[in-house]
Amino acid sequence: YLIRGVGLITKPEDIGKIILKEVKGIPVYVKNVAEVTIGSEIRQGAAIKNGYTESVAGIIQMIRGGNAREVVNRIKLKVAEINEGKLLPDGLQIVPFYDRTDLVNAAMFNVAKVLVEGVVLVIILLFLFLGDVRSSLIVVATLILTPLLTFLVMNRYGISANLMSLGGLAIAIGIMVDGSVVVVENTFAKLGERLKAGESKNRIILEAASEVGTPVLFGVGIIILVFMPLLSLEGMEGKMFAPMAITIAIALTISLILSFTLSPALCSYILKGGSEDDTKLVARLRAPYDRWLHWSLSNPKLVVKRSLIALAASLVGFVLLGKAFIPVMQEGSITPVIVRAPNISLDESIKLEFEAIKRIMTIPDVKMAVSRLGRGESPADPGQPNESDPIVTLKPLGDRSLNQEEIAQQIRDKLKTLPGIELAISQPIAARVDEMVSGVRSQVAIKIFGDDLLTLQKLGAQISQILTKMKGSNDLRIEQVSGQNYLNIKIDRDAIARYGINVSDVNEVIETAIGGKQASIVYEGERRFPLMLRYPAPYRDKVDAIENIILHSPDGAQVLMRDLAEISLVDGPAQISREAGKRRLVVGVNVDGRDLGGFVKEAQSLIAKQVELPEGYTLEWGGQFENMERAMARLMIIIPLTILAIFFLLFMLFKSIRLAALIILVLPFASIGGVVGLFIAG
């Protein structure tokens, strides 16, 4: 036989029957000195839906490398199965309040739309400029096959069809037909006369393709090289732009291969003849072009002079252009991050949050608002009970009367009158990206490093006053490092020595009485529950009650806590943040109505003039500005190296330093159009 002793606790009554000791032969049970009940974890958070009811909110996390659309679609099927099968009690339903695929699908639809429009426009232009249906169809074949083969390569190497990769494909649409156009046009021109002379069609096509092979190869290679600096970016910007650069490189490489394989093959089957004459459209455009070219060659000094003036003007314009990290994406949802006083209770915070969400729901263009306070059982997105980040889902774009910026301003106007809050308007994804970068959910973060918290607070207040007066400053917030109430129990070592009690004995009683201490574990099947010891609420929720807690000395004497320690309520730090081992305070601010780079440059100048940092205290600028500065600094190194590489390719092509330098010198003048375009686009 296997011998097994069974004595596990299975119900509360079993705990009550545990014997603590015997007094004159009479057992003293737990139930004689304590009340045994099924309790719950201390509540650390809450979720509020639409300002009228509390709810239970859950977050589903996707493992790294997963496909968001696939995962979410499978989740939706499971949610529908649960709801339709009425698997939850009392008619409860699972209602998604934030679905990342809504944004993904909208973005993908827009990019796909642009991609299709680009293909159509390129096809139209091909027919107009080539002037021959057969030649145009050959180039169109390259245009259609290149994206399809690009998708196959992307799938083979695990590159997802995301916003940036499809955006790269959209950018490359016009470029990917360049090689094929040159090959087909040269072939079409060669076939015109030489076929009549009785030459072999295949030989003519081979010679025509070989004739333009080198310039096409180098031309496409240089274009691919232009996008390579994006692969050198680090951090978040690297993860964003690398897929675009890789997709463009793949697409152009495939188009280059098709230009010298598919295009000549189709030419041999489809083209029946050719001509060196221009099409009607090209002939019409050539006349004014020839006049401009003749005038330029006749007045070279004047052309160079005017070009230099235009270049100088564009350089001035470039300096005046604003700088930003990346354009702000409209996510279709808004997150008003709300921070209250650190010492506020969860119950009071919930009460105030109800009022905030009710105000948000009065805005006509808001579809749903779900707020989460504090932290739940999952530590995936933690916060304090005084912090909340509602997710405000907007109505579909076609059903809104206002744009997203105007709705955000309405939310700001309705919430700013709430007492004792700090507010920062953001978006669900943007807020978390900002927080990952700088620790705060703001676009710009000024990090102050030093040893003394009071000095850090003083410097933070000075900086916030400067930022408040600046144009474009919005949603200013200072990291809360004070305002938390503390119950200090300062143990008197002389007093405890008189009674023979140790500091650890006092601390153990404090821990058990107020916070609760785990004594054992109760098993229920596969589930485990902690068995906690804790004083009833009336004996621990007031200072007087804590002062009257009884301790026992080694000789059995009863001693009150007040005789062993000084108990007082004091104000202390709400949190102490550190970065790289140094104490830190962050001032966060959003920028509205002006460029990020210009705002930070002005702020840096004002703070340098008006704020005097004590010895040992330093400032660092973080947030999106930190990403932008890092990317700019890296590009300032990589771009010159790329230009040098292009120069080397040109030298290999022309075998002449002068010709290669001449082409490189055109680059600054070509940038004039880019600067003008940025000004026009705003």
Q: Decide if 145 is inside a domain.
A: yes
Residue 369 has pLDDT above 70, yes or no: yes
Residue 377 has pLDDT above 80, yes or no: no
For residue 266, give the amino acid letter: L
Same domain, 282 and 194: yes
Residue at which a domain ends, from 253, 278, 298: 298
Stretch 452-471: mean pLDDT, rounded? Answer: 89
Residue 354 has pLDDT above 80, yes or no: yes
Confidence of residue 361 (pLDDT cuts 50, 70, 90): very high
Contacts of 23 (CB under 8 A, 6+ apart): none
**Half-sphere exposure at residue 580, Cβ-oriented, CA atoms within 13 angstroms:** 8
CA distances in angstroms from 352 to 47, 374, 386, listed in the order given: 13, 14, 10
Q: What is the pLDDT of residue 650?
A: 86
Stretch 519-541: mean pLDDT, rounded? Answer: 87
Q: What is the pLDDT of residue 25?
A: 85
Of 541, 537, 563, 538, the closest CA to residue 550 belongs to 563
Confidence of residue 682 (pLDDT cuts 50, 70, 90): low
Q: Cα–Cα distance between 55 and 357 in angstroms, integer?
A: 13
Same domain, 183 and 274: yes
Same domain, 156 and 290: yes
Question: Do 130 and 180 contact (CB within 8 A), yes or no?
Answer: no
Phi and psi of 457, rounded to 5°?
-65, -40
Residue 400 has pLDDT above 80, yes or no: yes
Stretch 280-298: mean pLDDT, rounded? Answer: 84
Name the most confidently modeled range: 97-106, 219-228, 250-259, 426-435. 250-259
Stretch 560-589: mean pLDDT, rounded? Answer: 85
Residue at which a domain ends, from 256, 282, 298: 298
Stretch 496-511: mean pLDDT, rounded? Answer: 90
Stretch 159-182: mean pLDDT, rounded? Answer: 80
Q: Which residue has the tokens 């025509």?
A: 208
Residue 393 has pLDDT above 70, yes or no: yes
Q: Which residue has the tokens 């040098």?
A: 644
Selected residue with higher pLDDT from 517 and 198: 517
Residue 38 has pLDDT above 80, yes or no: yes
Q: Is 1 exposed, middle or buried (0-12, 13-18, 19+ CB in 10 A)?
A: exposed
Lowest mean pLDDT segment, chosen from 163-172, 400-409, 445-454 = 163-172
Instruction: Centre a 10 Å sphere on the Cβ of residue 322 and count the other Cβ atoms it contains.
Output: 13
Residue 212 has pLDDT above 80, yes or no: yes
Confidence of residue 673 (pLDDT cuts 50, 70, 90): confident
Q: What is the pLDDT of residue 327?
A: 67
Q: Cα–Cα distance between 589 and 578 in angstroms, integer?
A: 20
Q: What is the pLDDT of residue 492?
A: 92
Same domain, 236 and 121: yes
* Number of independent structural domains in the chain: 3
CA distances in angstroms from 98 to 68, 72, 363, 367, 402, listed in the order given: 13, 11, 19, 12, 21
Same domain, 135 and 278: yes
Same domain, 154 and 292: yes
Q: Which residues are registered as beta bridge partners of 492?
A: none
Q: What pLDDT digit, counting tens, does each position of 627-645 carry? A: 777 878 888 888 888 888 8
Same domain, 137 and 286: yes
Confidence of residue 516 (pLDDT cuts 50, 70, 90): confident
Question: Do 419 and 377 contact (CB within 8 A), yes or no?
Answer: no
Q: Decide if 4 is inside a domain.
A: yes
Q: What is the pLDDT of residue 360?
A: 92
Q: Which residues are registered as beta bridge partners of 584?
A: 449, 577
Q: Cα–Cα distance between 194 and 191 in angstroms, integer?
A: 5
Confidence of residue 322 (pLDDT cuts 50, 70, 90): low
Mean pLDDT of the chain: 84
Q: Cα–Cα distance between 639 and 229 in angstroms, integer?
A: 6
Q: What pLDDT digit, counting tens, does each position of 71-130 carry? A: 888 999 999 999 988 888 888 888 888 887 777 777 777 777 777 887 788 778 777 777
Q: Decide if 602 is inside a domain.
A: no
Same domain, 257 and 118: yes
Q: Decide if 47 is inside a domain.
A: no
DSSP 3-state of 478: strand
Question: Over pLDDT 70: what percentage of the chain?
Answer: 95
Same domain, 18 and 126: no
Q: What is the pLDDT of residue 431?
A: 78
Same domain, 160 and 265: yes
Domain coverage including residue 494: 485-572
Q: Cα–Cα distance between 385 and 45 in angstroms, integer?
A: 6
Q: What pLDDT digit, counting tens, does each position of 465-485 carry? A: 998 888 888 888 888 777 778
Q: What is the pLDDT of residue 197?
A: 67
Residue at which a domain ends, from 572, 597, 616: 572
Instruction: Centre a 10 Å sphere on the Cβ of residue 237 and count the other Cβ atoms it contains.
Output: 20
CATH of the domain at 504: 3.30.2090.10
Q: Which element (helix H / strand E) includes 409? A: helix 404-415
Query: Is the overall model pTM greater than 0.75, yes or no?
Result: no
Contacts of 76 (CB under 8 A, 6+ apart): 96
Residue 317 has pLDDT above 90, yes or no: no
Same domain, 10 and 119: no
Q: Decide if 224 is inside a domain.
A: yes
Stretch 532-555: mean pLDDT, rounded? Answer: 88
**What does the angle CA 101 – CA 106 – CA 110 come to, to the nearest 5 degrees?**
145
Contacts of 388 (CB under 8 A, 6+ apart): 337, 338, 349, 353, 356, 371, 372, 373
Of 183, 177, 193, the closest CA to residue 276 belongs to 193
Instruction: Centre a 10 Å sphere on the Cβ of residue 167 and count the other Cβ atoms it contains.
Output: 20
Q: What is the pLDDT of residue 381?
A: 64
Residue 379 has pLDDT above 70, yes or no: no
Q: What is the pLDDT of residue 275?
A: 62
Residue 438 has pLDDT above 70, yes or no: no
CATH of the domain at 161: 1.20.1640.10
Q: Decide if 129 is inside a domain.
A: yes
Q: Decide if 152 is inside a domain.
A: yes
Q: What is the pLDDT of residue 276?
A: 64
Q: What is the pLDDT of residue 274?
A: 62
Instruction: Centre a 10 Å sphere on the Cβ of residue 586 and count the other Cβ atoms it contains.
Output: 23
Residue 132 has pLDDT above 80, yes or no: no
Same domain, 31 and 176: no
Q: Decide if 223 is inside a domain.
A: yes
Q: What is the pLDDT of residue 324?
A: 67
